[in-house]
Amino acid sequence: MTPKLILFFSILSLALPVVAQETDSLFAATREDAPKLFIDCHSCDMNYIRTELNIVNYVIDRNDADVFIMITRQTTGGNGRAYTMTLEGRQQFQGMRDTLIYITEQDLSQDEIRGRTLQWLKLGLVRYLSKTPLANDLELNFHRMDAKEQPLDPWDYWVFTSSMDGWFNGQSSYSSMNFYARLSASRVTEDWKLIFNLRTNYNENRYIVDDDEIVSIERNPGFNSTVVKSVSDHVSLGARYGMFNSTYANIDKSIWFKPTIEYNIFPFSESTRREFRFQYMLEFKMNDYHEISIYNKTDEVIMRQALDIDFEFNDHWGSAELSVEGSHYFHDLDLNRLDIDGELSLKILKGFSYHIRGGYALIHDQIALPRGEVTAEDILLHQQELETQYSYWGSMGISYTFGSIYNNIVNPRL
């Protein structure tokens, strides 16, 4: 090798680390200028978002964020999803707040849904990125479509769904199988909500105990429907009615009708973030029983009233839900019930989150219980509803995360 070539490669070997270091420093400075995001979305593919939108910083705790983003969703009349994306500025973006709403159709794949979420996330971030040094590298493209008249819906917003589902497992001394089928029709517009469901469920469990076979079978066919008229952005009028059969509840046939009035303190247009609803219901019911009830009835016609209060709130600090429903039968006020269910999820301290869920019911309205003794088999196999004056459930948990505030890297290995 000639002396000139040796000198050239020596200079090149010294220069490359300097260039690489300057490039890394430039990239680091650019990433340092990028806003820090915290995305609160239970249905989002965050690995996909972090991979495809890598010009921003993702943080683990919402208190470190420059932009807090909450994405919630509701089901549309066509069995699609309506997403509400709320962006709230912090730090240098204090006072900035935006809300975007987008729709995903029923027939979209999961890849198309996450792609649309990413598209709207990019759109929502333009306002924030434009106030950083990254604005010099932004380019907004608009794919113009020819204006066309909205086509008429040949189905007039009616959506029909049929489904079947089966499940089974077993071993030498135990086997179980379940079958479920459903047929539904719905029509949802701004003014009306119509839902009709026809279903059947079959559940069978078999046990081998000392060469004896014990079989538990539960059947629950039924029909229910809901009709709701939107009166205003706070008031709704509606009715629910249906029919069902339940071997577990000692119901051979029950036909019921529930006219309902509903009032929401907050506008229904804000329902993805907050709700405070009051529902008053009257219920007319005709029951036929498999066995004579504890009140010596084989059938009866009864009426009851109920008040249901539901509160739900979602914000950057977490979420809170509370539902309280009280009811009683008119022919005997001692036949009453009170249900309370709640959930609280808090993310107040940096890195620390806490959640608690639970419910409690005072039960004094079990009019369909069969007369007679309950066998040990019924209790152990849970074959029929048991007499009780209360029920409860609950769960709680805490988590604490500390260390690096960044959550940018996606590594799917192993």
Residues 246 and 394 in one domain: yes
CATH code at position 110: 3.40.50
Q: What three-state secondary structure class fits 347?
A: coil
Q: What is the pLDDT of residue 170?
A: 93
Decide if 79 is inside a domain: yes
Decide if 245 is inside a domain: yes
Q: What three-state secondary structure class fits 146?
A: coil
Domain containing residue 93: 12-136
Residues in the chain with pLDDT values less than 50 = 5, 7-29, 147-148, 150
409 has which bridge partners? Answer: none
Q: What is the pLDDT of residue 82?
A: 87
Residues 240 and 383 in one domain: yes
Residues 126 and 225 in one domain: no
Residues 6+ apart with CB under 8 A from 363: 337, 388, 389, 390, 391
Q: Per the structure, how many domains does the chain have?
A: 2
Decide if 59 is inside a domain: yes
Residues 124 and 248 in one domain: no
Q: What is the pLDDT of residue 295?
A: 93
Last residue of some domain: 136, 157, 185? 136
Q: What is the pLDDT of residue 31?
A: 66
Decide if 169 is inside a domain: no
Q: What is the pLDDT of residue 27?
A: 45
Q: What is the pLDDT of residue 147?
A: 47
Residues 93 and 224 in one domain: no
Q: What is the pLDDT of residue 42?
A: 85
Decide if 413 is inside a domain: no
Q: What is the pLDDT of residue 108?
A: 81
Cα–Cα distance, 327 to 307 (Å, whole number): 7
- Do residues 47 and 410 lie in contact, with contact meaning Cβ atoms separated by under 8 Å? yes
Q: Which of 325, 285, 283, 287 lies closest to 305 in space, CA to CA?
A: 283
Q: Is 156 left (phi over 0), alpha (psi -120 to 50) or beta?
A: left
Residues 126 and 227 in one domain: no
pLDDT tens column, 277-300:
999 999 999 999 999 999 999 999
pLDDT tens column, 123-171:
999 989 888 888 887 877 776 655 445 457 788 888 888 999 999 999 9
Residues 352 and 225 in one domain: yes
